[in-house]
Amino acid sequence: MNTIVNTVTGPVPADRLGKTLMHEHFVFGYPGYSGDVTLGPFDREAALQKGSEIANALMKHGVKTVIDVTPNECGRNPELLRDISERTGLQIVCATGYYFEGEGAPPYFRRRLLLGNGQEEIYQMFMKEITEGIGTSGIKPGVIKLASSEGTITDYEKAFFRAAARAQKETGITLITHTQVGTMGPEQAELLLSEGANPKRVIIGHMCGNTDIAYHVRTLSYGVSIAFDRFGLQGMVGAPMDELRVACLAGLIAMGYGNRITLSHDTVNIWLGRPRVLSEAARKLLVNWHPTHLLENIVPALRKAGVTDDKIRALFEENIANAFSG
């Protein structure tokens, strides 16, 4: 099985990823932003500067790699990521994949699915990018990003899951998912495994949207890994408060599941389109939604909860390497 991971500056061995944040976005835009560029133009130099500042801040905390899981239709910019990586030395992995139906851009492939060959075309898209590179950039994704809706995996979304499992069987690429509002973790795992995916290379994401330990155990029973990857994003979009997440995470580690959990924030450094306008209440809730929150605040909270340094290191390092080499 391949243990090499494609970064935006070339392949690296999985055991060279080091301390890693599994789920972040240097730039992100909800589909439709491209029609509002007159009032929300993209400033590439500003994005490069901001991305480089974030990369340097992370590296001061020992972070060596960031997985940027921005889907294809949400402003994915592998060339920008390459420039950030080359400027700072941070290893960055980009993705191939589409967002969930309700907040993605479904008409294109939904219409092609109606013609009867859409799933094959999704598979072809994955394989072309994985083996030859994205567009004309030559940059190859290191993960496939998948996503499902709240309380369901739609037929549209299932086509991507099935195509991704097939692509994984041929290339060994790691699959990272989005679960909406703490739902569908076990169902995602079951679907991917039923299509032949390797559970050791599947990470079910946003699981910290649900603090029911039984829900996590059901998902983990499929042999997959899970991600607590929205720290700092709390009290909104169905997200629980961080202290509840820490308690749930510490409980899972105490139960022996600490070797199959990864951590991140799901932060967005640059929003494409016009800047967001937040209420004062929202700003207070999101004050810690930034890329160093885990390292500055959550790690000390885990230590206070009795999690050892070795187990914390596994969340950022060994578990990541295993998810790319299992």
Question: What digits encode the pLDDT tens for the residues 254-297?
Answer: 999 999 999 999 999 999 999 889 999 999 999 999 999 999 99
Contact 74, 66 (CB under 8 A): no
Number of domains in the chain: 1
Is residue 202 over pLDDT 80?
Answer: yes
State the pairing for strand pair 225-228/202-204. Answer: parallel
pLDDT the model gives residue 131: 98
Of residues 115, 197, 116, 205, the one with CA closest to residue 163: 197
Residue 186 sits in a domain whose CATH number is: 3.20.20.140
Tally of CB atoms within 10 A around 281: 10
Is residue 1 over pLDDT 70?
Answer: no
Average pLDDT, the chain: 97
Mean pLDDT of 188-205: 98
pTM to 2 decimal places: 0.97
Mean pLDDT of 301-309: 98
pLDDT the model gives residue 187: 98
Show the domain range for 242. 4-323
- Please report where in the chains the tokens 């008409």 appear, as a residue: 107
pLDDT digits (tens, 9 = 90+) for 86-144: 999 999 999 999 999 999 999 999 999 999 899 999 999 999 999 999 999 999 999 99
Q: Count, in order, helices (H) and strands (E) of the chain.
A: 13, 12
